[in-house]
Amino acid sequence: MKINTLRFGEIEIEDSRIFDFELPIIGFNELRKFVILDLKKDNFFKWLQSIEDPALAFPIVSVFSMDVDYTIDLSDEAVDKLKITSVDDILVMNIASIPQENPQGTTINLLAPIIFNLKENIAGQVILSGSGYDISFPLFKNN
């Protein structure tokens, strides 16, 4: 399948890489199909590209590849909606906010990670209620 994107131009992807968002991204309830783009294999950031809106792509990172004390406790409802049967089947990513004028000011949303069920190709953004995590965790400590 070929998709047109505003940021990356036309990209060929396999249908099997498309995730159906059972729990939508906050503020984007109408968009349900996304793909993870890993355009530069060694890059820290990946992109969560909407299939339905060529202009929408979120930079995402795995905080588990950083030195951050981060644990997630999913509600039973989230586990059911995302059909999670094993932690080995999930990928946890967090949306980053990269200020164009100051990339060193990049922050990561720890409060509402994106949970991908790699086995079922479904995903969702989950709010970790009561976790104490912030939506603007600084990526760079010397900020």
Task: Identify the CA nearest to 58 among candidates 24, 10, 12.
Answer: 24
In the DSSP assignment, the letter for residue 82 is T
User: Rounded to two decimals, what is the model's pTM?
Assistant: 0.92
Tens digit of pLDDT for each residue in 90-135?
Answer: 999 999 999 999 989 999 999 999 999 999 999 999 999 889 999 9
The runs of H, that is alpha helices, within the chain are: 76-81
Q: Integer distance in angstroms from the first to the last C-alpha of the chain? A: 41
Tens digit of pLDDT for each residue in 37-79?
Answer: 987 777 789 999 999 999 999 999 999 888 888 999 999 999 9
Domains of the chain in start order, with CATH, are 2-138 (2.30.290.10)
